[in-house]
């Protein structure tokens, strides 16, 4: 009797099942991210409690009319588009895993794109917040307009995670290259 059968499903089956779960999570997460962003910008009170509070701008200097909130939504959507690109790459990565395409050059390329998407979104964050602070206070009296530049420890941690994924992707690409060379030698 094989010892393998005593430890649950085959490793590839577990990878396939986890990959399917991750694809579902990615789609649900993307839908909720977009809906959440829209929900924030539709309501002036939510913009006050979430965006203005995070930027630490006095509410008396902020304009929350319809056009300002619409532009705020568009500006806030920029890093989300980059994240959607990374999520799409993750979706395709897991689709490949479900097909058994695990250590391939395509998988390492997708992982690299995910990492670069994460790093790009973090790099955009201070500029998006600065643009939002200028946009939200554009109607304020002279001397009451704000330009807020922020970079948080959370931004650093997410960027570090992106860097870690990038390193793993590069190592994986090298492993795929070496394995291909070894197959050609034999």
Closest CA to 108 of 160, 158, 180, 159: 180
Note the pLDDT of residue 5: 53
pLDDT at 2: 46
Q: Indicate yes or no: pTM above 0.85.
A: yes
User: Which residues of the chain have a pLDDT value below 50?
Assistant: 1-3
pLDDT at 1: 44
* Residue 103 Cα distances to 76, 89, 95, 169, 179, angstroms: 36, 16, 13, 10, 9
Domain boundaries, the chain: 4-185
Q: What is the pLDDT of residue 8?
A: 60
User: 48-70, pLDDT tens digit by residue?
Assistant: 999 999 999 999 999 999 999 99
Cα dihedral sign for 86, 91, 51, 69? positive
**132 vs 44, 88, 148, 156, CA distance in Å?**
14, 26, 8, 20
* Sole residue written with tokens 């409690």: 49
pLDDT value at residue 92: 98
Q: Which tokens in the block code for residue 35? A: 């809906």
Instruction: Give the per-residue pLDDT at 171.
Output: 96
């Amino acid at each position: 009797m094989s010892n393998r059968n005593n430890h649950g499903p085959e490793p590839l089956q577990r990878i396939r099942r986890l990959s399917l779960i991750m694809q579902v999570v990615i789609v649900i997460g993307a839908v909720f991210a977009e809906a959440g962003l829209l929900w924030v910008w539709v309501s002036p009170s939510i913009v006050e409690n979430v965006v203005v509070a995070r930027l630490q701008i006095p509410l008396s200097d902020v304009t929350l009319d319809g056009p300002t909130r619409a532009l705020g939504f568009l500006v806030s959507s920029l890093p989300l588009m980059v994240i959607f690109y990374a999520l799409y790459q993750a979706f395709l990565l897991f689709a490949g895993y479900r097909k058994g395409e695990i250590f391939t050059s395509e998988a390492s390329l997708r992982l690299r794109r995910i990492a670069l998407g994460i790093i790009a979104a973090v790099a955009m964050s201070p500029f998006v917040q600065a643009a939002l602070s200028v946009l939200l206070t554009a109607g304020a009296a002279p001397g009451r307009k704000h330009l807020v530049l922020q970079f948080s420890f959370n931004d650093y941690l997410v960027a570090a995670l992106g860097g870690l994924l990038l390193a793993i992707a590069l190592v994986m690409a090298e492993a795929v290259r070496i394995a291909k060379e070894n197959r050609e030698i034999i």
